[in-house]
Every structure is written in structure tokens, then in C-alpha cells.
Chains A and B, each alone.
Chain A
Amino acid sequence: MRVRLFAGLREAMGWSEQMVRAAAPATPLAVWHQLDLDGAWRAATGAPPEATPAGVPLPAGVRVAINQRFAPADTPLVDGDELAFLPPISGG
């Protein structure tokens, strides 16, 4: 599946999108840990370095979009999905 990052998260990781083969059964939360996004995000925001344990929600304000719609972090992913991790948004 295609994984996309935006804004501060994209810069913390140094990439904006890549194709990822997720381990089944895949969820956004599992991919978050598989790609080690947690450590990069914590470093970028100055949050404590302890990793978010697997199975707990994403860091505060970070949201998930699947196929360009907001979705819960435990939504089952299927092949071909476009998964995006969205750091805290600020429109308007």
C-alpha cells in the first residue's frame, strides 16, 4: 500500500510517500510502529522519547486517513489502500 506523510511528520522522517508491504493483519497503528514513525514524531515534537507501546492510540493530535478519508487507527487495511498519517491539523 502507499503510505503518505505530511508537514512536520514528513520532515521528521525525510520522505513524503513510499510503498509499504504491511504485515497482515495490518492496521494504521501497526504500520505506524512498523515504520518507526513514533520515535521520529516524538523527537520532532520534543515529546518524551519512550515509544508509544503497541496497541495504544497514536500520539495526541496525530490522525489517520485511509483513501483520503479520516479513519480510526485500528481500521483493517487492505491491499491498494492509500494510508496517510496526519500531524495535528490547523485549517482556517
Chain B
Amino acid sequence: MAPTASVSVSLHADPIGPLLLLEQWQQQVAPTPAETPAATCLFIGRVRGTTATGQPLDALELEHYPGMTEAQLQRLAIDCARRHPVAAVMVRHRMGLVLAGDAIVVVAVLADRRGAAQRCCQELLEALKQEAPFWKREWSSGVGEWVLGNTPLMPPDCESG
């Protein structure tokens, strides 16, 4: 049984700088180089510039369930950290109106080994896509359409974000 990992989760109403958030978090969980685990896995998801039907996207509106969404992100991160020998897990997620190209989600994992860091990061990303209560509405030419569900992980669209 691995020691309990540090888990940090937050929602952001304003645009986020993924690398700045990563830096701030690393300084909190591993203040000195000697304390920093050898492997860091980072995923940044950005809003695609086109809608599901290929139209130019102006913005993505992201609705959530205040209280449940935060609690669910925390549960998913803790569960994932229990399945892998990792030291720390960070999730940063946008809410509200997110412009094309802006970061919508950032997941980072610190671990002693790259395999655990990468597997935990990927698993957690998939879990939050399927199990975190968020709803996306794509805005294009003044018309908003709710997105019903997620893209699959594998082809035809193997990009995630």
C-alpha cells in the first residue's frame, strides 16, 4: 500500500496559465529539488477551434454542479492516486466561458517512476471526462449547442482535450 498521495483540485472562472499553475503546485508539494519526485506527467487540454460538426467555434460554455463537481473531482483524484504509486496529483479545471485555444483542464502527477505518473495521469483524465459533472455548450455564429457526451479516447478522433 502506497503512502497517501497529496491531492489538489480546483475550479477556475478565469483563464488559467497551465505552466504557472504547475510551478506553483510543485513548489507547494515539493519545495526543494531534493523533495521533488523523479517523474512529472502533465496533461493540458485546450478548447478546439471547431465544433463537433466542424463549424468555427467562438467559445465553449462550461456548466457544472456547484459542490458536487468539486467533490467528484476530489474523489476521482484520490481514487486514481490509490491505484498507482504516486506522490501527488493536481487537477485544474475551467468553468464558465472558455475561448478557443484556452486551457480547459490541466492534470499533473508526480511519482517516483514515469510509468505510474503517466498511467495515473491518463486514467484520471479519462475518469474526469466520464465521471465529472460538467456540461459543454459549443457557441458558433451566435448559436449554442449542448454537447451530448464525450469523444472516444481512440480514433477516429484520437486527440483528447
Give the interface of A toward B (CB within 8 A). 4, 6-8, 45, 61, 65, 68-70, 84, 86-92
Contact = CB atoms under 8 A, between A and B. Distances in A.
A84 B149 contact: no
Contacts of B105: 91-92
Most chain B CB within 10 A, of A7, A88, A91, is at: A91
Given A7-B137, A90-B136, A91-B134, A84 B65 contact: yes
Given A6-B133, A69-B68, A92 B150 contact: yes
Q: Is chain B's interface secondary structure helix, strand, loop, or mixed overall?
A: mixed
A16 B72 CA distance: 21
8 contacts: A7-B146, A8-B135, A8-B146, A69-B71, A90-B134, A90-B147, A91-B133, A91-B134
A87 B125 CA distance: 20
Contacts of A61: 148-149
Contacts of A45: 148
Interface in B35-70: 45, 63, 65, 67-68
Interface of B: 45, 63, 65, 67-68, 71-72, 93, 104-105, 125, 128-137, 146-150, 160-161
Given A7-B63, A8-B146, A89 B132 contact: yes
Contacts of B72: 70
Given A92-B128, A92-B150, A68 B134 contact: no
A8 B63 CA distance: 10
Nearest to B63: A7
A86 B133 contact: yes
